[in-house]
Structure 1
């Protein structure tokens, strides 16, 4: 594993080869992809500090020169908020970092966050021509890393500029939920001159970016800075405010005088397996486990009063990014052994390839083609093991992934002190139940039209409460559409 100094030296050599030259596609394709510097796996597995260290300036310029500047710009079609990707990368290639980040911010106000947590290999990089040549979104131009670089450069060099805000309209917009969808709506409505108040059930704004994604993947100071920037734009935040209990949505629109509202409450209702033993002490949803550690800083035992369940052997069930976050967090909370139990193989895992690789480097063990059928407890009612079945893969299911088929008589026991269930989340039914006229489907997802407008007058919705559990950038894309709908409605 190369150090940041060694990687930068390699970048300087590449930069010397291309500096001042007019590069054709053949020369650009010959430029090697720049590796992201990261902390030593053995050391970082017990630390909360961010794992990926970000490109150096030299690395960023070299990587940007890999972009072919395709005329049809296929990468943009893979971006839910339509960032002008070739344009910002062209500015990085010239060393114009401020111009690059300004281009991104025309459509996305959270580049430091999206650059870290978006599944670029499945979105923008999945459409990249360079990646298509190599038949891998991982080998495409590193769009996410470049986005992160210019956002970090802007912040660290104190070059952040606030967007222009239209004159005050006298209209009031309520945003329910301070996650990525809600923050996007707040920004776009504030820019249009409306007074915006964000209502958040937790004691801190940020949604999944604060409570779900760990510090070692997304430093909370970065999220907080984005929230602080919204406050500078005039956005108000009311935390510890549960809409549906503190006030209903209708009360906000009548008694509190809001002219429009956006619902972005996310998908925060954990899904369980419904197997024997799930009520034992030491069984957690990934939601609770990560919220205790992230939002409530349970890892900081010297200062935080949040209790964290001590376990030396931890099993995590699931194969997505949340499962990777929970498994890697367990190591940092003192686990000596962490197993991820997944009923398919590595090829079918929905988690980002980079997150799987980081987990493996840190010592997480993957138990593929296994699935729990019972959680076992001791005489104290605490978890002491899990009975799992072995599986083999059958025919593909509706999602295209091969379906797991249980092997009869293959039950075996895995010893464990704690079980973390990371099988996704559903929608909390509170808001729909307390808001007459707000329609939702059988899964509790709020129904919207093409502008994100709901069945309830003056109410729009977006993000996970509409999509089900999705990504930060998809939630932001829905927020942008909803804000455009709200702004058009309030302009009438």
Structure 2
């Protein structure tokens, strides 16, 4: 039965009027607000954003579910320690501008984080309301509330620009314009330093531009945040590949930069290393999504980048990127999309919301299967994937039960394209061209507690340090790095 939001809001207001406040029992009786979304049958062929966002009434009702705990465990789950009870309380009182101002004291990108961060594993995973219902999915919808006030601020032209300290004469180079890089750029610019962001692609935004589809994160939101940084003096140089256009040492020694931050992300795709993986029609999710997102390959009348036409697409993997690739395949013309995963639904690392949206749109899940060979025709094009069946054995180091292949269970899945979505590693370019920039065996740059590398004047953070992580985790590293850079430049 659909929830009558106006009726719920009136109940809340009546209780406050009568008793002066809501009790914990009152708050626990408030139903969780559902996120409005586009019709699955229609949206599966469109690039418009799927989740439509809360109305003001929904946001106020949802915010009143918060117990305002004396010890806010939700904040412990937030990588940048946002004052979650503080901003949620302001929403409950209808003070949306005050709410977003609280968030922006510690988080630069609330409209983005509210959409794409896995709150159920972070802040909502610690929420007391979620523990009452024994599910992080039933916790206070912190991410959706964060998105609501950020969108409200932007749509009502209420964006307040941060104060910028007097110019210091110091120059900071930021390598990469993803969430970590943009955070460093903002914090260093606020401190009065001259900041230049160097981006290898022709558009800024990093993974937020090339990796996350329009239907989950509209690109205008990312571009608006970049424009705000330009307003406080941050410069951006695109088509500039540090390590090739100039080395990092050239920026520091010849171009006069006093400090540098490396936030180049994890953009090196991993493959299965099975026979046939070099056939025409096999793509990394990285390339597939970059062509569609950054190059707008879905806009076939105007985009210059080619998109491989395929009617039956198989996606290998079960994370958020796999869900993005599978859902994008429908939007690029596929009629059938199969996700092949060697474990079961219970072990899938993707967000439940993303799995649900994919299923609603028609994605078919083939559990306990994994490709062992890609099959091709005489033209060298994909015609199918040979898979093995699996059963689950004992848990591995991560706690997930390990898949065990069933001998003799080979079977063929017909398809005309395969997308490999098994995660990404670190691009070795910067480490290989910068003496003294040390990395571990996985290519992750080594840093100390302040994000400083072993190379003088260089800090690093985000996926290039963590491996593939989340927007908010990358921002948290960016904040620490910026603090370290600002402390160093103040000496």
Q: Please, what TM-score do these two structures have when normalized by structure 1?
A: 0.98
CA shift, 1:213, in A, is 0.1
Q: Which residue of 1 aligns with 2:13?
A: 19
Q: Which residue of 1 aligns with 2:169?
A: 170
Q: Which residue of 2 aligns with 1:317?
A: 316
Q: Distance in 2 between matches of 1:120 and 1:320?
A: 15
Say which SS state the counterpart of residue 31 (structure 1) adopts: coil
User: 1:201-244 CA deviation, whole Å, 9 max, x = no partner?
Assistant: 00000000000000000000000000000000100000000000
Q: Distance in 2 between matches of 1:219 and 1:11?
A: 27
Q: Which residue of 1 aligns with 2:372?
A: 373
Mapped pair 1:282 → 2:276 = no
Structure 2 gap segments, 5+ residues each: none
User: 1:56-100 CA deviation, whole Å, 9 max, x = no partner?
Assistant: 000000000000000111000000011100000000000000000
Q: Distance in 1 between matches of 2:312 and 2:74?
A: 42
Q: Distance in 1 between matches of 2:486 and 2:25?
A: 46
Say which SS state the counterpart of residue 79 (structure 2) adopts: coil
Q: Distance in 1 between matches of 2:134 and 2:180?
A: 32
Q: Distance in 1 between matches of 2:237 and 2:304?
A: 24
Q: Distance in 2 between matches of 1:191 and 1:25?
A: 41
Q: Which residue of 2 aligns with 1:347?
A: 346
Say which SS state the counterpart of residue 42 (structure 1) adopts: helix
Say which SS state the counterpart of residue 468 (structure 2) adopts: coil
Say which SS state the counterpart of residue 379 (structure 2) adopts: coil
Q: Which residue of 2 aligns with 1:306?
A: 305
User: 1:13-41 CA deviation, whole Å, 9 max, x = no partner?
Assistant: 10010115110000000000000000000
CA shift, 1:48, in A, is 0.2
Q: Distance in 1 between matches of 2:87 and 2:400?
A: 35
Say which SS state the counterpart of residue 19 (structure 1) adopts: helix
Counting only pairs closer than 5 Å after superposition, residues 33-432 of structure 1 correspond to structure 2 as: 33-432=32-431
Q: Distance in 2 between matches of 1:231 and 1:349?
A: 39
Q: Distance in 2 between matches of 1:338 and 1:232?
A: 43
CA shift, 1:389, in A, is 0.4
Q: Distance in 2 between matches of 1:201 and 1:71?
A: 46
Q: Distance in 1 between matches of 2:304 and 2:434?
A: 36
Q: Distance in 1 between matches of 2:137 and 2:480?
A: 29
Say which SS state the counterpart of residue 374 (structure 2) adopts: strand
CA shift, 1:193, in A, is 0.6
CA shift, 1:109, in A, is 1.1
CA shift, 1:135, in A, is 1.2
Q: Distance in 1 between matches of 2:133 and 2:399?
A: 22
Say which SS state the counterpart of residue 195 (structure 2) adopts: strand
User: 1:131-180 CA deviation, whole Å, 9 max, x = no partner?
Assistant: 01111110000000000000000000010010111111110000000000
Q: Distance in 1 between matches of 2:451 and 2:304?
A: 40
Q: Which residue of 1 aligns with 2:455?
A: 456
Mean CA deviation greater in 20-29 or 140-149:
20-29
CA shift, 1:305, in A, is 1.2
Q: Distance in 2 between matches of 1:313 and 1:474?
A: 35
Say which SS state the counterpart of residue 227 (structure 2) adopts: helix
Q: Distance in 2 between matches of 1:42 and 1:125?
A: 30
Q: Please, what TM-score do these two structures have when normalized by structure 2?
A: 0.98
Structure 1 gap segments, 5+ residues each: none
Q: Number of residues paired by the alignment?
A: 486
Q: Distance in 1 between matches of 2:153 and 2:96?
A: 8
Q: Distance in 2 between matches of 1:239 and 1:454?
A: 24
Q: Distance in 2 between matches of 1:422 and 1:27?
A: 45
Q: Distance in 1 between matches of 2:163 and 2:78?
A: 24
Q: Distance in 1 between matches of 2:67 and 2:253?
A: 54
Counting only pairs closer than 5 Å after superposition, residues 431-442 of structure 1 correspond to structure 2 as: 431-442=430-441
Let me know the Cα RMSD of the aligned residues.
0.7
Q: Distance in 2 between matches of 1:280 and 1:45?
A: 28
Q: Distance in 1 between matches of 2:465 and 2:409?
A: 39
User: 1:408-429 CA deviation, whole Å, 9 max, x = no partner?
Assistant: 1110000000000000000000
Mean CA deviation greater in 292-301 or 20-29:
20-29
